[in-house]
Amino acid sequence: MRNHSHQLDLQEGQSRYVKTVLALYRKLPDTPKRHSRYDRCLAVRLYQQNLPLPVIENAFLLATARRLLRDPSYPSLNPIRSLHYFLPVIEELLDQPPPQAYFDYLRTKLAPFLSPTNQASANHP
């Protein structure tokens, strides 16, 4: 009985982790309103790799900042179609993590782009 309870706890933990990753992903500008089954599979894989949620959230922030705060004279970027887009940024943060203060700065800088009232316009120009 104890083993069954432990497995249920693990499944609940995985389910919560996957839902959190996918919800954070969908809230970003230029991402789809719905995730794909491939996005869900990647979120499960990230859970299985014990990747901390703050690393994923920070990767979302950094990639979003790079997209939104770039020189406006550059050509527009295509929308993000997959959670896989963020894998190189996740790897970058694992290899060379910036100080947490940098991500606090990015949150402040991106607040106007990430507010709930701007989500509809950010996702659909």
| Per-residue pLDDT tens digits for 63-75 | 999 999 999 999 9
Encoded amino acid at 68, one letter: L
Interval 86-114: pLDDT, tens = 999 999 999 999 999 999 999 999 998 88
What is the per-residue pLDDT for 27?
93
Question: DSSP state, 77?
Answer: P
Q: Domain total for the chain? A: 1
The answer to whether 123 and 29 are in contact (CB under 8 A) is yes
**Average pLDDT for 58-84:** 95
Which residues form the domain of 19? 2-123
CA distance 124 to 46: 28
What is the per-residue pLDDT for 116?
64
Residue 122 pLDDT exceeds 90: no
Residue 125 pLDDT exceeds 50: no
Encoded amino acid at 19, one letter: K
